[in-house]
Chains A and B, each alone.
Chain A
């Protein structure tokens, strides 16, 4: 019995046999038996493209491997690959701890966070998720192996998109927090240069920073945005009453099970962008926000991905190194001039990357857009961006990708061959396969 699967952006569905092992042993047995079309692990399905799909093959839904333990003295969590950051936070935050890196959604698994080497608003200070992993258990066709840095296979697994094996368990460090609140500074910027300038000057004062860019602003206002920067609030900064570590993220809304195509269209998105920009105060300091609204605003709307209608959307996230600002400017200007509709466009300044050959973040700038499919000329436009990004020494993010071409990938990830060798050694039979791997010839 096969199940059609897509990524979060709901494009290019393919059927696979989905099995949900209860234990790491059952998982290892399934991997050992896998043949033909191969196998890939899947968590909560938050990769936007085809990373956790395997047409005609086996997909291991790891969400039952959700056991975890926490050692308060060391601040180390040991969790099953299928444990979600959502579950971890629900227990960790009230005890005064936080995950080392949180992406824009907390509905990701530990295995997925490592396989995509996810980053968050603290990348400029704390790097990506892989930098905080002390060890992991990798299930390969030859059995389970415990890996730790600086083992090359450990780093090939970090950012390896599940193609070196299945991450059955991992141990990573958490960060202590005094409260469950964030102290946030918000500032509007006038244009892209202003945005880049303010981020460059002030990023290091905050643990978490991100800029939302109004892509529909044109002319002199091109690249204007709203900067949001914050730190975990100290206990003394909270008003005296109540539990400073209270944490109860709510999902207030849910998108309907189906949504008509085109609900998010140029008109509605333009209106949203204008309102979002105007709504933000020109400058506001010391705003107190909960963890959920600060880190995971979209998690407040369950199934928000359905709002794009049945044809889905495309996430395009690229990074270019410092010094390649002209490329960033050119792409933003092109998007604005072409009137490309992107609901949420986010700019972030990256700090140092990890030693992982396929990890996405590099020191520089990253821009993420989500664009409904079906805008005319979109494929050609994004391929043009791919070339500019590769030319500038940058890359696109595989966890978001659903449309990159194999030849461009090789130009973007110069250590691809090194990764391929490590992978071939760990999985000589090529058991681990995904639609993403086929598409990109990984």
Chain B
């Protein structure tokens, strides 16, 4: 259960090797969470140690929606009520490669959007039943206004962002909530070697923002916070200018 000061007991991370997902889990454990289930693609190996919390590693394939319901069920069996479900899986890909191989672009959408839609609906069903809990969806500023240099990833995030907000609306009054997290450029494995965008951030900063938002009950989280204002402007930038934004 989330307590009066916003700390939780149990966490499920979908995308259990995601740096952001792990950073969130670690941060929530530091605040008192005692059971963590990491759902990741096989081969699984040993679960990482997280400051004395009980950690389980279970099999999860984002591209196989028919197994997503079982992933949630298995996590419930291992941890009980799920206080926080972090949907952190995703692939970034490279627009040039998608241009060469459009089929691979569709496959990435299947993970970044399709996988989130099925896990999101299964997660929402569970949270509605238990009458509490937060689904944390890793969206991105890339989906706030899609750029031509990142159109496949951005389109998936745009779809995911809209889906997640509406899912949150559908859960209103049930005790369950959806938190949409919109980080900017996050330094890490996924972006290694790429030139950083302005207001770049880190997995740890994203994790801190998620923990604070859990405590305060915030439903839309920008990381860093200033991006909220930057994108208020960028959203209204005339298209002739927008299309010139590099990458």
A378–B175 CB distance below 8 A: no
Q: Given A4-B175, A383-B32, A439-B9, do A55 and B131 touch, yes or no (CB 8 Å)?
A: yes
A12–B175 CB distance below 8 A: no
* A-chain residues with CB within 8 Å of residue B2 when the two chains form the complex: 12
Judged by a CB distance under 8 angstroms, whether A407 is at the interface is yes
A14–B175 CB distance below 8 A: yes
B175–A402 CB distance below 8 A: no
Main secondary structure of the interface of B (DSSP, over half): loop
* B-chain residues with CB within 8 Å of residue A13 when the two chains form the complex: 175
B4–A438 CB distance below 8 A: no
Judged by a CB distance under 8 angstroms, whether A305 is at the interface is no
What's the least CB distance linking A263 to chain B, in Å?
19
Q: In the complex, which residue of chain A has the Cβ closest to the Cβ of B131?
A: A56
Q: Given A2-B131, A379-B31, do A56 and B175 touch, yes or no (CB 8 Å)?
A: yes
Judged by a CB distance under 8 angstroms, whether B34 is at the interface is yes
B129–A312 CB distance below 8 A: no
What's the least CB distance linking A368 to chain B, in Å?
16
A9–B9 CB distance below 8 A: no
**In the complex, which residues 45-76 of chain A have their Cβ closer than 8 Å to any Cβ of chain B?**
49-50, 55-57
B34–A407 CB distance below 8 A: yes
A378 to B7, CA, bound (A): 12
What's the least CB distance linking B16 to chain A, in Å?
23
**In the complex, which residues 380-433 of chain A have their Cβ closer than 8 Å to any Cβ of chain B?**
382-383, 402-407
What's the least CB distance linking B143 to chain A, in Å?
31
Q: In the complex, which residue of chain A has the Cβ closest to the Cβ of B8?
A: A439
B131–A57 CB distance below 8 A: yes
- Identify which of A2, A50, A55 contacts B130 (C-beta below 8 A): A55
Q: In the complex, which residue of chain A has the Cβ closest to the Cβ of B5?
A: A379
Judged by a CB distance under 8 angstroms, whether B1 is at the interface is yes
Q: In the complex, which residue of chain A has the Cβ closest to the Cβ of B130?
A: A56
B130–A37 CB distance below 8 A: yes
Q: In the complex, which residue of chain B has the Cβ closest to the Cβ of A379?
A: B5
A373–B4 CB distance below 8 A: yes
* A-chain residues with CB within 8 Å of residue B131 when the two chains form the complex: 2, 14-16, 37, 55-57
B129–A50 CB distance below 8 A: no
Judged by a CB distance under 8 angstroms, whether A314 is at the interface is yes
- Identify which of B5, B7, B31, B32 contacts A314 (C-beta below 8 A): B5
* A-chain residues with CB within 8 Å of residue B170 when the two chains form the complex: none
Q: In the complex, which residue of chain B has the Cβ closest to the Cβ of A17?
A: B131
Q: Given A4-B175, A14-B175, A55-B1, do A405 and B32 touch, yes or no (CB 8 Å)?
A: yes
Main secondary structure of the interface of A (DSSP, over half): loop
* A-chain residues with CB within 8 Å of residue B32 when the two chains form the complex: 379, 383, 405
A314 to B215, CA, bound (A): 14
Judged by a CB distance under 8 angstroms, whether B149 is at the interface is no
Judged by a CB distance under 8 angstroms, whether B81 is at the interface is yes
* A-chain residues with CB within 8 Å of residue B218 when the two chains form the complex: none
A56–B1 CB distance below 8 A: no
Residue among A15, A383, A439 facing the most chain B CB atoms (10 A cut-off)? A439
**B 223-235 binary contact with A (CB < 8 Å = 1; else 0):** 0000000000000
What's the least CB distance linking A419 to chain B, in Å?
20
* A-chain residues with CB within 8 Å of residue B34 when the two chains form the complex: 405-407
In this complex, how many residues of chain B approach chain A with their Cβ under 8 Å: the count is 21
Q: In the complex, which residue of chain A has the Cβ closest to the Cβ of B133?
A: A55
**In the complex, which residues 183-207 of chain B have their Cβ closer than 8 Å to any Cβ of chain A?**
none
B3–A12 CB distance below 8 A: yes
Q: In the complex, which residue of chain A has the Cβ closest to the Cβ of B3?
A: A403
**B 1-34 binary contact with A (CB < 8 Å = 1; else 0):** 1111111010000000000000000000001101
B132–A402 CB distance below 8 A: no
Judged by a CB distance under 8 angstroms, whether B173 is at the interface is yes
* B-chain residues with CB within 8 Å of residue A439 when the two chains form the complex: 1, 3, 9
* A-chain residues with CB within 8 Å of residue B7 when the two chains form the complex: 379, 403, 405
What's the least CB distance linking A137 to chain B, in Å?
29
* B-chain residues with CB within 8 Å of residue A373 when the two chains form the complex: 4-5
B9–A406 CB distance below 8 A: yes
- Identify which of B1, B9, B128, B175 contacts A50 (C-beta below 8 A): B1
A403–B130 CB distance below 8 A: no
Q: Given A55-B131, A56-B129, A56-B132, do A15 and B5 touch, yes or no (CB 8 Å)?
A: no
Judged by a CB distance under 8 angstroms, whether B48 is at the interface is no
A314–B130 CB distance below 8 A: no
A13 to B132, CA, bound (A): 9
Judged by a CB distance under 8 angstroms, whether A265 is at the interface is no
A438–B1 CB distance below 8 A: yes
A37 to B34, CA, bound (A): 21
* B-chain residues with CB within 8 Å of residue A57 when the two chains form the complex: 131
B5–A55 CB distance below 8 A: no
B4–A435 CB distance below 8 A: no
A314–B132 CB distance below 8 A: no
A15–B31 CB distance below 8 A: no
A312–B1 CB distance below 8 A: no
Judged by a CB distance under 8 angstroms, whether A105 is at the interface is no
Judged by a CB distance under 8 angstroms, whether A11 is at the interface is yes
Q: Given A407-B34, A438-B80, do A11 and B129 touch, yes or no (CB 8 Å)?
A: no
What's the least CB distance linking A230 to chain B, in Å?
33
Judged by a CB distance under 8 angstroms, whether B104 is at the interface is no
25 A–B contacts, CB within 8 A, in A order: A2-B131, A2-B174, A4-B173, A4-B175, A12-B1, A12-B2, A12-B3, A15-B173, A15-B174, A16-B131, A50-B4, A55-B81, A55-B131, A56-B128, A56-B131, A56-B132, A56-B175, A314-B4, A373-B5, A379-B31, A379-B32, A382-B5, A405-B34, A438-B81, A441-B9
Given A13-B175, A14-B1, 5 other A-B contacts at CB below 8 A?
A: A9-B4, A14-B132, A379-B7, A406-B34, A436-B1
Binding site for B on A (CB under 8 A): 2, 4, 9, 11-16, 37, 49-50, 55-57, 312, 314, 373, 378-379, 382-383, 402-407, 435-436, 438-439, 441
A-B CB proximity, top 6 nearest? A56-B131, A55-B131, A11-B4, A402-B4, A439-B1, A55-B132
